[in-house]
Amino acid sequence: MIDNIKIENYKLIKELEINNVRNINIFTGENNCGKSSILEAIYLALSQDCIKNLIYSYDTFRNFPLNKKNIRYLFNNFDLNKKIFISTRTNKDILSSLKISLEKELVVSILDNLNENEDTKILFEYKHKTKEQKNTLTIKEIKDTERTGVVERRYEAKKYLNKNNSIYLPVNVFSFESIHFLRNIRTDNKEEQLVKYLQIFDKSIKDVEEINGEILIKSSNFNQKVPIKIFGYGFIKFFNYICALISNEANYILIDEIENGLHYKTTKKLIESLIEFNKNTNIQIFISTHSLEFLSIVEKVTNEKEFTDLGIFNIYKYEENVYCKYYQLQQLKELLDNGVELRK
């Protein structure tokens, strides 16, 4: 399990060290304080598919294309001369680390959008335990009249140093693809377990299957199987979370704005499910939220379940950096009862 995280020069974060990392970790704070950036950084450092995942986080999670113009937003204060560094530690040994830097001989001005006639090359230096690997992402703008504005992005497919063992669940549930996890669940004969958890959200659910790349739900409310897309936002989000957990493909699950779209009662059941999974597996969970209601539910459920391996991290900005303040779970009720604002 990870017990320490370091992030330098990534987006809003100039320098941040997070200690006391627990099995379940909740990052809370006001909007645009860096919570999502912390989750993204952990996700990149834990996965050898860091280039692919970086592109995906730009294009899909943020709907903000990774091109020569937008690459500068990856670096703190848009300074392309800086080097991003992210590391995770366990038992004081480095589990994984990632360095990202612009591969360019000349000094780049902070205001420079990069030479439009040159390819932009970004160097990724990845380390997992004692093994190291380098790779370069090349971004090229296509200038011919038929494909103006098209971006070509190239990098070498290399043999993995480690299993890709992190899953990131973004705020936009429609950008997350659950079919892969559903197939694994059915291969492992875990359909009954999946349906049991889905019935926490909706008792009418009878079965789930995938046909021709589409997820279909069998419900007592309909006389035939129906596409999952006709269900509400909250159900689709809950479905994604549960599929990722039951498939047990990853050691690390990262969930951004977990409470978004979920009813109070469903949120309580989800937290109970997360605690159950955490007790029975080696999955470590990282969550972002800005909801006091969610934190209040966490306090009640953890007390009922006598679960203590959870930490609260208040993320906040001060001047030009991002900081965090750690609270133990037993402090949470006192803070909430006394009206201490944990989101700023």
- List the CATH number of the domain containing 134: 3.40.50
| Residue 293 located in a structural domain | yes
pLDDT below 70 — which residues of the chain?
104-117, 144-149, 163-164, 338-344
| Residue 193 located in a structural domain | no
* Tally of domains within the chain: 1
| Residue 296 located in a structural domain | yes
Predicted pLDDT at 8? 97
Question: How do strand 284-289 and strand 310-318 relate by DSSP bridges?
Answer: unpaired
288: containing domain: 4-165+250-337
| Residue 262 located in a structural domain | yes
| Residue 238 located in a structural domain | no
Buried b (16+ CB within 10 A) or exposed e, 278-304: beeeebbbbbbbbbeebbebbbebbee
| Residue 188 located in a structural domain | no
Tokens of 95: 């589990």
Predicted pLDDT at 302? 93
Predicted pLDDT at 105? 53
pLDDT in tens, 248-277: 778 899 999 998 888 888 888 889 889 988
Predicted pLDDT at 307? 92
Are 286 and 33 spatial neighbours (Cβ–Cβ below 8 Å)?
Answer: no
| Residue 43 located in a structural domain | yes
Q: Of 195, 227, 198, 232, whose CA–CA distance to 213 is shortest?
A: 227
Q: Of 62, 71, 16, 68, whose CA–CA distance to 41 is shortest?
A: 16
List the beta strands (DSSP E) in 178-259.
205-211, 214-219, 226-227, 252-255
Predicted pLDDT at 109? 58
CB atoms < 10 A from the CB of 111, how many? 8
Tell if the pTM clears 0.85, that is, is over it: yes
| Residue 245 located in a structural domain | no
